[in-house]
Chain A
Amino acid sequence: MSLVTRNVIIALAITLVLAGTVAYAVDYLNRARINELSTMEDQISIDTLSLDTQFSLLEAAPCDSIASSTTLISSLADLGNRLSYAEGQLGSDNAQVIRLKQQYSLLEIRDYLITKQLAAACGTKPVTVLYFYSNAGDCADCDKAGYALSYLRTTYPGLRVYSFDYNLDLGALKTLVGISKVRDTLPAFVIDGKRSYGFTSLAALEKQFPKGALATSTTAHP
């Protein structure tokens, strides 16, 4: 075997090893992401259950649960951002991504319900937004709407934004869509119970909020 032939074979082997290492690294990072998301979901699930239980235990003074509720919504937002990034990396048809999105949506619905219960019990008026989007390529403005809501959520920490993939196959989500009477014209918003459709600009979206809601939402809780 000539020197060149030998070197070609060794170089091919090195190339395969390098490409294999890169493929493994990509897979490893993606699995690590999924694991982190699962861990976060488990934690949030425990926190939600804890809040729910706390709420039940403190029937006499349920408003003591509000601090926990406020912390939980920021964890949910962080999880939502990570899940969205993982979906972009792995694809929206990835089975693990779909499972994580289902769990995430359930956590959101659960938090939404607790928020409503707390508001009723404590007389607070938190501003809630149910946001329905689609990743199926049929919603040109969903990315813009999602980014605008991220901005509002960051700017007004008291704002409670719940994002849902309209096409996600989840019974509880379909029920929420049903009782909220949201049509499949996306993006769709339910802001404090009032429905609106489409996204044109941040300013137009802000007009959908109750008067003064955004200015006072940071101090919504007593």
Chain B
Amino acid sequence: MKPYMSQEMLTFPFLFLAIFFESFVLVTLLSKPARAARARVPGEAAPSVAVIVPCWNEATTVAATCESLLALDYPADKLEIILVDDGSTDATPAAMAPFAAHPQVRVIRKENGGKHTALNTGIAVTKAEFIGCLDADSFVDPAALREIVPCFAKPEVAAVTAAMSIHQPGNMIQHMQNAEYTFGITLRHTLASINGLYVTPGPFSFYRHETIKELGGFRHGHQTEDMEMALRLQHAGYEIENAPRARVYTKSPDTVMKLIKQRTRWTSGFLRNVLGEYRSLIWSRKHGVLGMLILPISLIAVVSTLLLFSVTLFHLGQSAITALQIRAGIPLAYAYLPHGSFDWFYFPSSFYILLGATTLLTSLSLIIVGKRISETPGRIGVGLVSYALLYGLVVPLWLARATADVTLGKNRGWRA
């Protein structure tokens, strides 16, 4: 047996689990509830809606965010936009000022208290039937709200999520995130069909006003107020829907470091919420697929990704060191330039590699599916390549950082 075989075998259960989860998503995607959700058409009903835009130092984007909301295909007398400046120290107030006189827009300025307080301030001043949230760095498609409203048809539905993509991805890191977000469209659409969502993201998630009030509004939620609210809704027995064609575009981190900071916050928020206040949801039969499948798999995924990454890194490192040692002293032209043509005989074909490749290919397929069902315009090719090449390398970085933070009880600032 090869020396690293036992480490490879350690990863097999996690690779099986990854393939199982992707298969489950595919099967559920083809099941009746998901098909019915895709067949849902925008209705004529136009209940009163308020969209709250919490802002903290978003001077460069808030105007465009507000403009996109004003361009929504929705009766003006039913759509209210509430811009809440959460004590910005940049030019955000000046960027908001031109909208203050707009009949649909209300501008509120308050002392800095965190995103959840900004949302609650907005909720407190509206009587709209449905409350939407939109991060001040996101922009909505004009038809998005028309797609969302019909999802509230069932009274048990307390929240509806949208289909997020990256706004004008520029570099490889952003293209990678665009593919990841598009994968998220498939996942969110599929899991919503069986009420398995545990996050209502900041970009254009909507809530039934009376339910939000009943539950006491937003909380700090370990800096993930959207996840905390979704878990609270699930805990209270409500359902969270998804509108797969309600397209919303959000700006994304453009460097690896910024991305790691953002995702560390998300992941540590997930771990702290799920392992803390909402621990009772895990393995809860009462909470169906969320308790019995989604949350346990999501937690295992954190561990398994770190393990798979460690084993892969160990293999690659070991191979690289051995290759360098063997080639030491040999002329570079022979040692480091390929010689000979492709020969199937030398095709790497271990169980570990092929199972990993199967998982990756299925992920790429689900990204393409996400693009199709959301009808998101633009090309995804660069995103697929970036995702295949980079995603597995960067995810473990924030998972490790977040896991360490949670284990050591370390709290970071919103953008630290």
**Residues of A near any B CB (own CB < 8 A):** 3-4, 7-8, 10-12, 14-15, 18-19, 22-23, 25-26, 29-30, 33, 36, 82, 85, 88-89, 91, 143-144, 147-148, 151, 154-155, 201-203
Contact = CB atoms under 8 A, between A and B. Distances in A.
B27 interface: yes
B347 interface: yes
Main secondary structure of the interface of B (DSSP, over half): helix
A91 B350 contact: no
A128 B20 CA distance: 56
Given A12-B23, A89-B349, 6 more contacts: A3-B31, A15-B19, A22-B351, A26-B350, A26-B354, A33-B345
Contacts, number: 87
Contact of B328 (A4, A18, A26, A144): A144
A104 to B, nearest CB: 15
A22 B359 CA distance: 12
Interface size class of chain B, counting residues whose CB lies under 8 Å from the partner chain: 35 or more
Contacts of B327: 147
Interface of B: 1-2, 16, 19-21, 23-24, 26-28, 31-33, 194, 288-289, 293, 322, 325-331, 334-335, 339, 345-347, 349-351, 354-355, 358
A144 B325 contact: yes
A132 to B, nearest CB: 18
Nearest to A137: B3
B137 to A, nearest CB: 36
B281 to A, nearest CB: 16
A8 B328 contact: no
A19 to B, nearest CB: 6
Given A4-B194, A15-B16, A148-B330, A23 B351 contact: yes
Contact of A26 (B24, B32, B351): B351
A201 B328 CA distance: 8
Contacts of B20: 11-12, 15
B349 A29 contact: yes
Contact of A22 (B331, B334, B346, B354): B354
B275 to A, nearest CB: 24
Nearest to B347: A29
Contacts of A202: 329-330
Contacts of B350: 26, 89
Given A22-B351, A91-B1, A151-B331, A143 B27 contact: no
Contacts of A147: 326-327, 330
Contacts of A148: 329-330
Nearest to A21: B358
